[in-house]
């Protein structure tokens, strides 16, 4: 059972996490939800389309202008409070690696801390434990936040992913984070080249076999773009194909830009797997 905020999810229940970037320079939407009203409209749309989690980020993942912890908090804390007020039942996640920001957003009502940089600030897990919040434990290859990998190598990329993410998850539980609220993430593109991310996808069932719920953040990423030689705005088909494979292999949470399309893919895979009945079943029965 995965428990986040007020919600519980069974082992075969796929969960969509919608991305809402509070940044002026995000790689995909180029600041479309930097201002409050567009961002709140995005939350409303994502919830209507089937997102259970809203993931709020205040710092672009890639290199760019420095964003201090104070500025990151300014972009996220008030917005978290407003989303909590308007959408009391939605699960609020915040994409941050900083413990001080995690503290502020949990105080404002966040349910989940999405640590995409692999525990670079060990205090973040301690914050999650103090507030009873969930935690995403990600493999980032040991790179510094907001840096790109350069000639990174692994003897066995999945072995490294498992060692790091399971270790972070076990540490979080030992600190007091509720076990049912901890997820592991292979960290596609983070500290990896395209071949590493493809292998991580191909072997995702090895992460699922650990028993920890698996989150994947695939949406329009560079490994999709390089695999198909497509620019950022033309990566949806590749993203959805990767989503389908990940769903078949047992991933549970999907961090995405396109909620409605992802919902259809996840529902279709769940029905093929026998975990979800067809929405309509008339053919051959009339």
Which residues are marked as active site?
Answer: 221, 255
Give CA–CA dist 146/62, Å, rounded.
5
Sheet harboring 15-21: ordered strands across? 182-185, 134-138, 112-115, 91-95, 53-57, 15-21, 253-256, 215-217
At residue 214, φ and ψ (nearest 5 deg) are -105, 130
Residues 6 or more apart in contact with residue 27 via CB below 8 angstroms = 60, 61, 62, 232
Give CA–CA dist 49/137, Å, rounded.
26
Residues 6 or more apart in contact with residue 248 via CB below 8 angstroms = 269, 272, 273
Tell whether the torsion through CA atoms of 123, 126, 128 and 131 is positive or negative: negative
- Could you please report the per-residue DSSP string of 82-147? HHHHH-TTSEEEEE---HHHHHHHHHHT--EEEETTSSSSTHHHHHHHHHT-EEEEE--TTPPTT-
At residue 193, φ and ψ (nearest 5 deg) are -90, 180
């Amino acid at each position: 059972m995965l428990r986040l905020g007020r919600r519980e999810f069974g082992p075969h229940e796929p969960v969509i996490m919608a991305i809402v970037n509070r940044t002026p320079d995000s790689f995909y939407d180029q600041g479309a939800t930097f201002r409050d009203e567009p961002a709140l409209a995005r939350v409303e749309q994502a919830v209507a389309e089937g997102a259970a989690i809203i993931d709020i980020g205040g710092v672009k993942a890639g290199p760019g202008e420095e964003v201090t912890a104070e500025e990151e908090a300014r972009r996220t804390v008030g917005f978290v409070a407003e989303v909590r007020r308007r959408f009391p039942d939605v699960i609020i996640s915040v994409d941050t690696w900083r413990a001080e920001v995690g503290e502020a957003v949990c105080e404002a009502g966040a349910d989940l801390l999405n640590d995409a940089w692999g525990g670079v600030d060990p205090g973040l897990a301690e914050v999650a434990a103090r507030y009873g919040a969930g935690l995403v434990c990600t493999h980032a290859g040991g790179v510094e936040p907001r840096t790109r990998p350069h000639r990174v190598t692994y003897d066995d990329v999945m072995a490294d992913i498992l060692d790091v993410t399971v270790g972070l998850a076990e540490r979080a539980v030992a600190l007091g984070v509720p076990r049912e609220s901890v997820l592991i993430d292979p960290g596609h593109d983070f500290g990896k080249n395209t071949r590493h991310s493809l292998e991580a996808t191909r072997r995702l069932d090895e992460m699922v076999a650990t028993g920890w719920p698996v989150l994947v953040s695939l949406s329009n990423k560079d490994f999709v773009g390089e695999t198909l030689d497509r620019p950022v705005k033309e990566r949806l088909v590749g993203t959805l194909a990767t989503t389908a494979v990940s769903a078949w292999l047992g991933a549970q949470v999907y961090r995405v830009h396109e909620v409605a399309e992802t919902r259809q893919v996840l529902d279709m895979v769940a029905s093929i797997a026998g975990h979800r009945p067809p929405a309509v079943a008339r053919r051959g029965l009339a």
